[in-house]
Amino acid sequence: MYEIVFINGKDYPVRFGMNALRMFCKDTDRALSDLDKLGESMSLDDACFLILNGIKDGSRVSGQECSLTVESVADLLDEDFDALNKVLEVFSTQFSAKLGNEGNVKAAKKKKAAKK
C-alpha cells in the first residue's frame, strides 16, 4: 500500500515498507532500532534520504520507474518545502502502524507463553 503525495506539481507514490526502511538505514548508516528516535535528531540529509527511499519503494510497488537521486529530492524541496511535512506524515502513519503491529505480535507471544 502506498500513498500519493503531490510534490512540486507532480504526484509521487510514497511507501515506507521494510524495503524503504532497509534502504534508508543503509544510506544513513543507521540500525533499525534507531528509527523510532528519528524525529528527535533528523538532519536535512536524513530527511532527503527518507523521502527518496519512500518514493523509490512507492514507485517499485506501484510499478513505476523512479530516477530520483538524493540531490533531485533536495531540489524538489527547494521548490516545495511543504512536501517535507507531507512525506513525514506518511512516514509517521505507516511506521506507527508497523510498530503497532509488531507490538500486537509481541503481546500475543507473551500471552501464549504465559498460558503454557
**What's the domain range around 109?**
3-115
Give the number of domains in the chain: 1
pLDDT of residue 106: 43
| Least reliable range by pLDDT among 28-32, 69-73, 100-104 | 100-104
Q: Which residue has the cell 529530492?
A: 73
Helix 70-79 crosses helix 44-62 at what angle (to 10 degrees)? Answer: 100
Q: How many CB atoms lie within 10 A of CB 46?
A: 15
DSSP string, 96-112: HHHHHHHHHHHHHHHHH
The answer to whether residues 24 and 30 touch, using CB atoms and an 8 Å cutoff, is yes
Q: How confident is the model at residue 72 (pLDDT cuts 50, 70, 90)?
A: very high
Look at residue 113 and tell me whether its pLDDT is greater than 90: no
Q: pTM of this prediction?
A: 0.81
Degrees, nearest 5: CA angle 101-105-107: 115
The answer to whether residues 29 and 18 touch, using CB atoms and an 8 Å cutoff, is no
